[in-house]
Amino acid sequence: MLSEDQYHTIVCIGTSTGGPRALQAVLSALPRTLQVPVLIVQHMPPNFTKSLANRLNNLSEIEVKEAEDGEILQKGTAYIAPGGKHMLLISQGREVRIKIAETEPVNGHRPSVDVLFQSVSQLKTHKKIAVIMTGMGSDGKKGIIHLKENGQTIVMVESSESCIVYGMPRAAIETGLVDSVSKLDDIAMNIMKLIE
């Protein structure tokens, strides 16, 4: 039985080119009563993600922050991977903690969506909602395969109509494992439907 402060679902989002605008559209539409944590990988160099998190926090009802090594996931909070570092999740008993790592880039990316998604796939006690939004390349594709292999995962991608760059969503769709395609303005609403 999960206690009041715990959560059944983890939302993880991967994005690249055009991501800040897309994240603003999604995070600003989530209610302050959000009962899950949100993990975000936005491809960015060091020193830019903190200001992005601060700006999104000012525009959102939920808390948005740059992720810190060792912190315990809290519902109603969105965590953005620090630029130039990988973000992973580690399960410790009934808690889930963030691990920030400076290991090698994966497919040229650090932070990497694949690294986050692969770590989330190892969490056995939570449902997962994985979202791929606008971005170049194919980061997140391998991570989606890991998530689906481990079950309890719904995968959503942004539609070509609203993407600045359709590369990452297209690569995700090529896996054959995507459950739904949403316009940017519908993503937050569709996340909430899956949580309820």
Q: What is the pLDDT of residues 109-141, one digit of tens each?
A: 999 999 999 999 999 889 999 999 999 999 999
**Residue 43: inside a domain, yes or no?**
yes
Interatomic CA distance for residues 8 and 37, integer angstroms: 10
The band of 94, judged by pLDDT with boundaries at 50, 70 and 90, is: confident
Give the domain extent around 171: 9-195
pLDDT band at 196 (very low <50, low <70, confident <90, very high): confident
Active-site choice (86, 121, 138, 139): 139
How far, in Å, CA of 103 to CA of 112, rounded? 11
Q: Which residues pair with 14 in a beta bridge?
A: 41, 132
**Residue 3 included in any domain:** no
The verdict on residue 1 lying in a domain is: no
**Does 2 reside within a domain?**
no
**Would you say residue 89 lies in a domain?**
yes
pTM, to two decimals: 0.96
In this prediction, residue 1 carries a pLDDT of 33
Q: Is residue 15 assigned to a domain?
A: yes
CB 136 within 8 A of CB 165: yes
DSSP letters, 84-96, are TSEEEEEEETTEE
Give the SS3 label for residue 170: helix
Which is more confidently placed, 166 or 95? Answer: 166
* Choice among 3-17, 98-112, 155-169 with the minimum mean pLDDT: 3-17
**What is the number of structural domains in the chain?**
1
Return the CATH number at 68. 3.40.50.180
pLDDT by residue (tens digit) across 6-48?
A: 788 999 999 999 999 999 999 999 999 999 999 999 999 999 9
Is 16 annotated as catalytic? Answer: yes
**Is residue 141 included in any domain, yes or no?**
yes
Cα–Cα distance, 114 to 143 (Å, whole number) = 4
Report pLDDT digits (tens) over 42-80: 999 999 999 999 999 999 999 999 999 999 999 999 999
179 annotated active-site: no
Any domain includes 108: yes
The C-alpha atoms of residue 194 and residue 196 are separated, in whole angstroms, by 6
